[in-house]
Amino acid sequence: MPPFRVRIPYGPHPEQYAELTPGTPAAAAGSRAGVVVIIHGGYWRSKYSAELGRPGAADLAARGFTCWNLEYRRAGNGGGWPETFRDISAGIDALEPASREYGLDLSRVTVLGHSAGGQLAAWAAARPDPAVRVTGVVSQAGVLNLAEALALNLSDGAVCNFLGSTPDADPQRYRSTDPMFLLPLPAPVIALHGDADSHVPLSQSAGFARAAAACGSPAELRRVPGDHFDLITPGTPAWTAVVRALAEAAERAGTFDMTCS
């Protein structure tokens, strides 16, 4: 029997909700896994939904992780700049009231972001004065360099479609959302990338990891076997690497102190 899942709204729009899947009690006993916030990808477009995160949430819950599969408005259904960012922030902070009702451990909150969700995960970690602090980020082939993604015209102009402007017209919009400009982050990042990924180039993860290292912001690049979607498919070697990274991120929570400038 699959673990139970409850839908919790965090705003009035139909796309403003999270799906809470608590960790299976037997697997969670003595676990220090905490909460995993899942942010799905799809190049920020409305045709892709939280359904992408459900298989991973079910698998992780069976391993003892409590999952918060976050839906948000995307370009095409009321999202984009700045609505998507407001949703990600509100959706993560909604863990606070949920923790009181469901007894969640918010001392370990790891954000797991796939593809465009990786960009949103890094942005979430950088939020100033959040109600719920992100303690770690695991990026699954994340779009971690918006300037490069724009220059490469990834997914037929997805970055400009999402942000609704160009860097020349609104440089601050890009500086406040591009993970490369958000460094150093107040949480460590594990950037996973498939060695056969044809959707997001490896340079997105590799370039971010190099830039993070240059400023002393802990980030690690891990190349894994498989394609773009193997990273969200339970049972693949890439997914095994995701589970390992999440366990490591949870274990490190509370031991990290950002002091680089």
Q: What is the pLDDT of residue 258?
A: 47
Query: pLDDT, tens digit, for every residue of 89-126?
Result: 999 999 999 999 999 999 999 999 999 999 999 999 99
Query: pLDDT, tens digit, for every residue of 125-175?
Result: 999 999 999 999 999 999 999 999 999 999 999 999 999 999 999 999 999
DSSP for 15-65, written as a single string: T-EEEEEPPPHHHHTT----EEEEE--STTBTTS-GGGGHHHHHHHHHTT-
Superfamily of domain 6-252 in CATH is Alpha/Beta hydrolase fold, catalytic domain (3.40.50.1820)
Alpha-carbon distance 192 to 201, whole Å?
12
Residue 16: which of 89, 76, 82 has the closest Cα? 89
Alpha-carbon distance 240 to 245, whole Å?
9
Residue 256 has pLDDT above 70, yes or no: no
Query: pLDDT, tens digit, for every residue of 174-218?
Result: 999 999 999 999 999 999 999 999 999 999 999 999 999 999 999
Q: What is the residue whose two structure tokens read 């990786």?
A: 118
